Structure 1
Amino acid sequence: MSQIKIGASKGNVLVSVAEKGYGNLFLCSKCRNAANCECGGKLQIVGTGKVPRCYICYKAHNDWRCNFCGGNLPYVISKGIERLAEEIGRALPKIPLLVSSGTKQIRLMPKGNHIVLATAGSEPQDLYAAVILFDGERIVNRPFLRSEELARHSWFSILNRSLDLAEVFISLPNKHPLTQSLLRSDSSYLVKQILKERKTAKLPPFFRMAVVTGIKKDISKFSENLKSATTYEVNGPIDIDSSNSKIIIRASLEESSKFVDMLDDVVRLQGLKGKSVFQIRLDPFDL
């Protein structure tokens, strides 16, 4: 809170938060087991004094008790922007506090010194005397391909809105590549790390990749043919639902033209035969 206090004495303070909502995931405070609904969905708390609700079926659990030990005291481990605003407001009650997120975005800051909490892309246009980058580990470890890349883009954009000599707090270890990039004001440091990891994992831009989705039996047959007749690396089939599955295909850059032509021929042949056509994503943004 010290950086927020110092910043608020000089101007506006921006607190960047990963998620909207209140208590997006909670455990039993007694046994630390996750709070689940009968349908298997995780329970969320949508606001102060609100009852837990399933994020899948939306069932309200008015008298929630832990399925494992019977405890009834929640322990929130994934705090949304509303919960953090509540905690900061209690710690610094004399400083006006604003929330910019989702459909309730603030474009321009009002006069005076304020603390504004914002999710990515919802930051008001202003220059800030302090920038607090919360939820670093949660952001860079999100389970999709470009989590660090998106974190880098978001945090560098936010720091471009800070005043000279602004207070900055980064919620990642000092040795983390993203922290080092921010400290050096040099995004190339992290980019080099990401490219090195992508080369090891055989991802674009060092390999061509295609995600092919279709009816299970068709995908299974296509996968077997590829594995037996080509040098392409094939992962899967991976079930999507009861009817569809997908495979992930990698090819070297030297085979790029041949690889794309092969995929084009497969789809064209399916169309001519009146079969269900594969959905193909080439070098996808995410898997």
Structure 2
Amino acid sequence: MGQETVHEQLALVRARVSGPPKPVEPAAERPVARVAVDLEPPHLDRYFDYSVPARLAENAQPGVRVRVRFAGRLVDGYLIERLEHTDFTGNLVPIERVVSPEPVLGPESLALARQVAELYGGTLADVLRLVVPPRHAKTEAEKSAEPLLGPLPPPVPEPWLAYPGGAEYLESLTRGQSARAVWTVLPNTDPAAALAAAVQATLAGGRGAVVIAATGRDVARFDAALTRALGEGRHVALTADLGPAERYRRWLALSRGRIRAVVGTAAAQFAPVADLGLVAIWDDADSGHAVRLAPYPHAREVLLLRAHQAGAGALIGGYAATAEAAHLVQRRWARPLSAARATIREHAPRVFALNEERGRDRELHPGAVAGHLPPQALRMAREALTRGPVLVQVPRSGYRPRLACAQCRETARCGHCGGPLAQPGPQQDPLCGWCGRIVTKWTCRNCFGVRFRSRATGVHRSAEELGRAIPGVAVRESNAARGVIDQVGAEPALVLATPGAEPVAAGGYAAALILDAQDMLNLPTLRAAEQALRRWLGAAALVRPAGSGGAVLLCGDGTLPAAQALLRWDPAGFARRELAERTELGYPPTARIAELTGAYPALKELLDLAELPEGAQLLGPVPAQRAGAATERMLVRCDRADGARLARALKAALGVRAARKVEEPVRLRIDPVDLA
């Protein structure tokens, strides 16, 4: 649904010329249509009643797209229901037209959208833009293939036999039960095959499945595994990079019930799967699961709402575990599904940290532990290269992503806007990370120095240094700037990758180096340690088992909790620790936090209008982390049980400001993943 068509604009012109419109004959039965109008202001977040003209009575059915007149202009909407009477005392405006007789908004999707809007303090219109994709008329007119109704046998349980209770979990899905689990995945196994088996079990039980991954690479892996397990035509893959026609075609296959299984990125979390029996999310700690459009829902929370709404099973899986997943286990909403310690030792590589090493390295190279390429790391890489490829995880992209003054060590900043400077490549001048200006002449504002030093080293510079330190070996890079590699061979090579871009090696990596580990832990966010462990485990899981010589070296402080969890390969224990600390400090998931960003007068006005729950705490204001923006940030914290009341109160206050046509905007986010 888009802007006014040419025909509608011509109709407006004719109406102005011909005078007031003639009375429209209403439908004989249920002449009132309740419509969800696509309006942004929060104070208009409700249904509006319109009359149904007799000429549209047949096509004006619940769930279809309509065009209606609101405040003198034509806007889009969805017909929610048909009624015999209305509470409105005036004359109802008739529906202008039914865009298409295709019902695209079912009752389950509508109920889910309303729940998501309430949870995140957003409007129904905002959520519906995420629920229903844009219409593609030509695709909609295509004849749908017949649904695949042939029997599907239960899956083979082999991918789940390593997990106590795994086979029983599959059986529960086959019987149509709402089995819910937090799944800690073993390294050196194929999670795609296990997920495909869970989907097959659900389909064999006569129900549908939704599988969500954060990246297109993971979706491609799961898509291929589902094709192998289910055969062609029993599922679809939905990602944001599909063209509008193909995306709508696949979405319609689900909406019409022809297909009952979908795998995709966050774009698929609202996919209209009939008889939903399983929702699954891979690596729920990945920030890609958080939608970057209002009201900023998180895919994990949306799937949990769907599981509760449909009585479906749930599977939250990954090499790491989040505090949110640990909270589900603590509440007994889900059960843990992980391997025994003996099985983990069989599959995991040997992991150690540099500062655990004693003796010769420390004596000969004081401070080597803090170095970017410590001697121990180089020695391990040389030895492992005799047996196969070596993975090197570098936390930052670019060449020298952070520069400092060589004399006083202060951050090097742009003389124009004050933004941080970075060097994009060798023999290149620094540029500003905010305004993009190239800096040819620079002077430190603090000590008037004119030379730079690296405050952080990127993957390109690391590849350059390793190539010089270990000559004669192929060096490959996998990152967004130079292309992500999906797979490498078993031949010796140094493979440098940023977190999340690590390619799979044939037969596994002989070793992995995790450089600059402290940089990940030092990020100023609530989830810094959780994210660091998740990235380390993702790289270490690609390394051969210890019995086959696989080893992982963490270049950082091995005494920290996240490092200890990696050394022991205990992500579930770390998640429980994180949950306990956040509970003590009053942070999600046991509390709800609303982040408000805007000019301080606007924030104060909003909070004065809001009827916050009793006991809600105000934190701030503090300067918002935005380039050059004069904005402030405030947090409102309350108990988890009061989260819905908090969201409603802030939404109502935003509605009052919108009704007053206040210009200064305030952004509302509930439990943001990047909470600093």
TM over 0.5: yes
Distance 1:238 1:128, change over 3 A: same
Among 220, 223, 232, the residue aligned to 2:607 = 223
- 1:102 CA displacement: 1.1
Among 389, 396, 400, the residue aligned to 1:19 = 396
1:10-32 CA-partner distances (Å, limit 9, x unpaired): 00000000111111222333443
Report 1:1-287 matches (<5 A): 1-39=378-416, 40-64=418-442, 66-67=444-445, 71-103=449-481, 104-110=483-489, 112-126=491-505, 127-165=508-546, 166-214=550-598, 216-224=600-608, 230-240=614-624, 241-242=629-630, 245-275=632-662, 278-287=666-675
Aligned positions, number? 286
TM-score, normalised by the number of residues in structure 1? 0.87
TM-score, normalised by the number of residues in structure 2? 0.39
Q: Which amino acid aligns with 1:11?
A: G
Q: Which runs of 5+ in 1 are unaligned?
A: none
Query: Does the aligned pair in 2 maintain the 1:6–1:167 contact within 8 Å?
Result: no
Distance 1:57 1:91, change over 3 A: same
Structure 1 counterpart of 2:317: none
1:228-285 CA-partner distances (Å, limit 9, x unpaired): 994310123445444x544211112343343333234334444555556753222222
1:203-225 CA-partner distances (Å, limit 9, x unpaired): 11111111234554342133346
> How far apart are the structure 2 equivalents of 1:29 and 1:278?
41
Query: Does the aligned pair in 2 maintain the 1:134–1:171 contact within 8 Å?
Result: yes
Query: Does the aligned pair in 1 maintain the 2:401–2:458 contact within 8 Å?
Result: yes
Distance 1:28 1:111, change over 3 A: same
Paired residue secondary structure (1:191): helix
Q: Which amino acid aligns with 1:3?
A: M
Paired residue secondary structure (2:650): helix
Paired residue secondary structure (1:143): coil
> How far apart are the structure 2 equivalents of 1:72 and 1:221?
46
Paired residue secondary structure (1:128): coil
> How far apart are the structure 2 equivalents of 1:117 and 1:35?
27
Q: Which amino acid aligns with 2:638?
A: A
Sequence identity percentage: 27
Higher strand share: 1
> How far apart are the structure 1 equivalents of 2:395 and 2:581?
24
> How far apart are the structure 2 equivalents of 1:261 and 1:59?
44
Query: Does the aligned pair in 1 maintain the 2:404–2:453 contact within 8 Å?
Result: yes
Distance 1:139 1:269, change over 3 A: same
Distance 1:175 1:224, change over 3 A: same
Query: Does the aligned pair in 2 maintain the 1:3–1:168 contact within 8 Å?
Result: no
Distance 1:167 1:63, change over 3 A: same
Distance 1:125 1:131, change over 3 A: same
Query: Does the aligned pair in 2 maintain the 1:208–1:250 contact within 8 Å?
Result: yes
> How far apart are the structure 1 equivalents of 2:446 and 2:632?
35
- 1:286 CA displacement: 2.3
1:80-130 CA-partner distances (Å, limit 9, x unpaired): 111111111111011111111114222221462100100011111211000
> How far apart are the structure 2 equivalents of 1:239 and 1:32?
24
1:43-85 CA-partner distances (Å, limit 9, x unpaired): 2222222222222233333354555555544321211111111
Distance 1:219 1:33, change over 3 A: closer
Structure 1 counterpart of 2:354: none
Paired residue secondary structure (1:149): helix
Between 1:152-161 and 1:209-218, the stretch displaced more is: 209-218
- 1:35 CA displacement: 2.7
Paired residue secondary structure (1:248): strand
Q: Which amino acid aligns with 1:157?
A: G
Distance 1:175 1:271, change over 3 A: same
> How far apart are the structure 2 equivalents of 1:139 and 1:229?
36
Q: Which runs of 5+ in 2 are unaligned?
A: 1-377
Query: Does the aligned pair in 1 maintain the 2:396–2:457 contact within 8 Å?
Result: yes
Paired residue secondary structure (2:638): strand
- 1:202 CA displacement: 1.0
Paired residue secondary structure (1:10): coil
Paired residue secondary structure (2:573): helix
Distance 1:65 1:189, change over 3 A: same
Between 1:204-213 and 1:90-99, the stretch displaced more is: 204-213
